[in-house]
Chains A and B, each alone.
Chain A
Amino acid sequence: MFVKQISVFLENTPGSLRELTHLLGSNGIDLMALSVADTQNFGIIRIIIEENSIDNALRLLRSAGFTARVNNVVCAVVEDVPLGLCKLLELIEETGASVEYMYSFLRSTGDRALMILRLSDQEISTQKLIDLGVQLTSQAEVNAL
C-alpha cells in the first residue's frame, strides 16, 4: 500500500543540496522523485529511490553528517489530463484527510502521472482512498519503473 521515502535535513546554506545529490549520484543511486521544502531556517529534501538502495543511501548520508529518516508515503496514479489531479484531491477530501505535502514523480508512465502524497492519519485515509477506487502504485511497481 505504501512506498518508502527518505527525508534529509538540510541547513539553508549554499551548496548543501549539491553536496547531497553528488553523494548519492556518485554512488550510483538514482533519484526517482524529489521534493525540496524550505522554511526561513532550514529545508527538508524528500526522495524516492529504489528499495534495494535505501539502506546504502542512509549509510552514506549519515556518515556524511546528514540527518535522515525513512517513512511511508502514498504513491497514487492520476490521469495525465486536465483535472486529473483535481479528481484525486476531490476523493482525498471525501475521506476527510488532509495533504501534508505532495510532489510528482520525475518519470512519466505514458498517459498517467504518479503523485507522492503524505496524508494525515495515513493508514486509515489510504484505506479509504482504495475503497473510493483510487489506483495506488506499490513499492514493487515503483522499483520496476
Chain B
Amino acid sequence: MGNDREHRIFNPRMECMSRDERAQLQSERLVQTVRYEYDHVPVYRARMDAKCIRPEDIHGIEDLKYLPFMEKTDLRDQWPFGLLAAPKRDIVRIQGSSGTTGHPIVSGYTRNDVDVWSEMMARTLTAAGCTPDDIVQVAYGFGLFTGGFGAYQGADKIGAMVLPMSSGNTQRQILMMKDLGVTMLCCTPSYAAYLGETVRDMGLDPNVDLKLKAGCFGAEPWTEEMRVHIEELLGIDACDIYGLTEIAGPGVSFACLEKDGMHINEDHVIAEIINPATGEPLPYGESGELVFTTITKTGMPMLRYRTHDICSLNPEPCACGRTTVRMTRITGRTDDMLIIRGVNVFPSQIESVLVGIKGVAPHYMLVVDRVNSSDTMEVQVEMTEEMFSDTISHIEQVRKNITDQIKSVVGIATNVKLVAPKSIPRSEGKAKRVIDHRKL
C-alpha cells in the first residue's frame, strides 16, 4: 500500500526499539508479573501449583508457553473481585462488558493501569495523525463500555481538544462536527458509516463542510471494504483499532496510516497465536487464536488470556517506523460470540433468558443482519400452547416480556419473532443457533 503521509509516533522509544531489546524488556516484565500474580491471586497460584510451575521457573518470554491459560469464564467465576491482584483501595476505576451466560464481567484498574491504557490510546490516536492541534469527537458510548473513556483518555493525554459526545443523537453529532471544526472521530465503524450517510443525506459535502481528517474505529468486526467505504463517505483516513476490557480496553493494538495490520503495544502486552484445539503456540504468519499476557498491569493482570479471536501476527517492521508486531484483522471467533452494535452477545445468554420464562420452549434461532449500517438481531421463538391465547394483546404481551428480558440481560434491543412449533430445525449434534447475514 504505502503512502507519503507523515507518520507520527507518540512514544518512539517504546514503539521503535529493536526487537531484541523489546524481547528483553518483555522478559523482565513477564518475570515480575508472574511473581506478582502468583503472590496476590490465589486462583492463579492454585492453577500454577497444579501444573507444578513456580514463578522462579519463568525466566523470560521463551517460558510463556508453560503458564496456564486464563479465560473469560474466570472473570465470571471470580466475580467481581476474585482476580484483583491489588488491594481494593488502589483500584480507581471499574470498566466492564457483557460476559457469557448472561453474566457481565468487570475489570479493576489501578492508577497505573489507567495510565497504561491512556498511553496506548494516545499512541493509537497519534498513529492516525492526532496532535494537540486536533479536535477529537468521541462518539463511543461513555460508561462501563471502554470505548468512550479510552478515546477520551488518549486524546486528553495528547493534549487535543476532546468533544465527549457519547453515542447517539446523530443530527447533533453532525452539527457539532461541522460547527466546531472537528478533525478526528472515534466511534464504531457501523456508526461512522451511519454518520457519513447522514452527512450526505443532510446535503453536506464532507470535503467542503467538514474538517474531519481521520478516525479510529473499532469495537466490532468490520471489513476492508467497509473501511474504504467509510473513507470515501467522510473523506478521511479510517484506522482500525482493537482492544478488550480484560486486557485494557481499546488501544491494545491499532493501525497506523499504512493501514496494514494493527500494531500491538508490546511493551505492555505479549501476544501469542495458539492452536485453539491443542493450546500449542503457532509461529508468526499462521492463523489461530489470539492470546494476551499483560506485563505492566497491577490491578487485574492477565496471564495468557484467551481472546477467542482468530487472526495472525506479522513481525516485519512497518513502513511507519514502528517495530511492534502487527496483527491482522480478526477473521472469526473460536466460540459462538456475536458482536452486535459493539455489544458482545452469546447465544447462551439468549438461551438462559428463554428457559427462564415459563412456557417458552428452548428452541430458538438468532438471525443477524446489517440494515442501514446498523446491526439487527431477530430472535425466533417457537409458539407453545402455554404462550398462546385467542387474543392478540395477550400474545403481544408475551412477546414484549421476552424482548424486555433479553434486553435486560444482553443489553441490546432485539426483534422477537414468534414462529410455528417445530419450525426451528432440530439438530442431533451442536445446534445451529445463528444465521448471520452480515457481509464481513
Binding site for B on A (CB under 8 A): 5, 7, 9-11, 16, 37, 39, 41-42, 44, 46, 65-69, 71, 73, 100-101, 118
**Contact call A42/B391, Cβ cutoff below 8 A:** no
| Interchain CB contact (< 8 A) of B423 among A11, A100, A118 | A11
| Residues of A close to B25: CB separation below 8 A | none
Complex: how many Å from CA A9 to CA B386?
12
Can you identify 10 A-B contacts, CB atoms within 8 angstroms?
A: A7-B388, A7-B390, A10-B420, A11-B419, A39-B396, A44-B390, A65-B421, A69-B389, A69-B390, A118-B391
List 16 other contacts, CB 8 Å, given A65-B420, A118-B390. A5-B390, A7-B388, A9-B383, A9-B418, A11-B420, A11-B423, A39-B396, A41-B417, A42-B418, A44-B392, A66-B420, A71-B389, A100-B391, A100-B393, A101-B392, A118-B391
**CB of A139 to closest CB in B, whole Å:** 17
Whether a CB of chain A sits under 8 angstroms from the CB of B100 is no
Q: How many residues of B contact A (CB 8 A)?
A: 19
**CB of B363 to closest CB in A, whole Å:** 13
Whether a CB of chain A sits under 8 angstroms from the CB of B384 is yes
**Contact call A46/B420, Cβ cutoff below 8 A:** no
Interface residues of B in 384-440 (CB under 8 A from A): 384-385, 388-393, 395-396, 399, 417-423
Complex: how many Å from CA A68 to CA B389?
9
In the complex with contacts A9-B383, A44-B395, A66-B417 CB distance below 8 A: no
| Residues of A close to B389: CB separation below 8 A | 7, 69, 71
| Residues of A close to B395: CB separation below 8 A | 42, 44
Complex: how many Å from CA A67 to CA B165?
48
**Contact call A9/B393, Cβ cutoff below 8 A:** no
Q: Closest chain A residue to B394 by CB distance?
A: A100
| Residues of B close to A100: CB separation below 8 A | 391, 393
| Residues of B close to A66: CB separation below 8 A | 420-421
| Residues of A close to B385: CB separation below 8 A | 67-69
| Residues of A close to B417: CB separation below 8 A | 41
| Interchain CB contact (< 8 A) of A46 among B390, B393, B418, B422 | B390
| Residues of A close to B421: CB separation below 8 A | 65-67
In the complex with contacts A67-B383, A100-B393, A41-B388 CB distance below 8 A: no
**Contact call B388/A69, Cβ cutoff below 8 A:** yes
Of the candidates A44, A46, A67, the one having the most CB atoms from chain B within 10 angstroms of its own CB is A67
| Residues of B close to A9: CB separation below 8 A | 383, 388, 418, 420
**CB of B233 to closest CB in A, whole Å:** 32
**CB of A70 to closest CB in B, whole Å:** 9
